[in-house]
């Protein structure tokens, strides 16, 4: 069965601190995709990044970076020098296209950036 676990329910940090959101996934498929989404208070999910199972290179986009490690089945997300606008709920998700067309989400991590 496929599963995504985000063990951190809620995190609070002071502005300008770095913060890492954890994501652990389970799948028996060798081909799969991992995603991160941001849900601001407005409710709409905003796509941040997609990673396929064959590409373990870390990625950096501005203050955001992602660390994908197949050995530990993890796809962690780090925000550097956090800002108040980063406050949101963040979701990690998994999709295995050779199995079905489902996208499985974790329960999300609510991030509070305190001024």
d(CA 35, CA 91): 8
Nearer to another protein, 10 or 17 (CB): 10
In the complex, what is the shortest distance from the CB of residue 76 to another protein, in angstroms, rounded to a whole number?
17
Contacts with 106 (C-beta within 8 Å, 6 or more apart), sequence order: 4, 5, 6, 23, 91, 92, 93
In angstroms, give the least distance from the CB of 15 to another protein. 26
Number of Cβ within a 10 Å radius of residue 11 = 15
Q: Applying CB under 8 A, which residues contact another protein?
A: 6, 9, 33, 35, 37, 42-47, 50, 52, 91, 95, 97, 100-108
For residue 53, the 8-state DSSP code is T
CB of 91 to another protein, least distance (A): 7
Q: Closer CB to another protein, residue 16 or residue 50?
A: 50
């Amino acid at each position: 069965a496929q599963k995504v676990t985000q063990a951190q329910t809620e995190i609070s940090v002071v502005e300008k601190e770095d913060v890492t959101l954890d994501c652990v996934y389970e799948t028996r498929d060798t081909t799969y995709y991992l995603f991160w989404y941001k849900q601001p208070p407005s409710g709409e999910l905003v796509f941040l990044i997609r990673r396929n199972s064959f590409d373990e290179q870390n990625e950096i986009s501005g203050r955001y970076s992602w660390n994908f490690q197949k050995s530990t089945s993890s796809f962690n997300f780090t925000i550097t020098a956090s800002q108040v606008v980063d406050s949101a709920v963040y979701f990690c998700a998994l999709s295995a296209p050779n199995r079905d067309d489902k996208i499985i989400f974790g329960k999300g991590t609510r991030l509070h950036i305190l001024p």
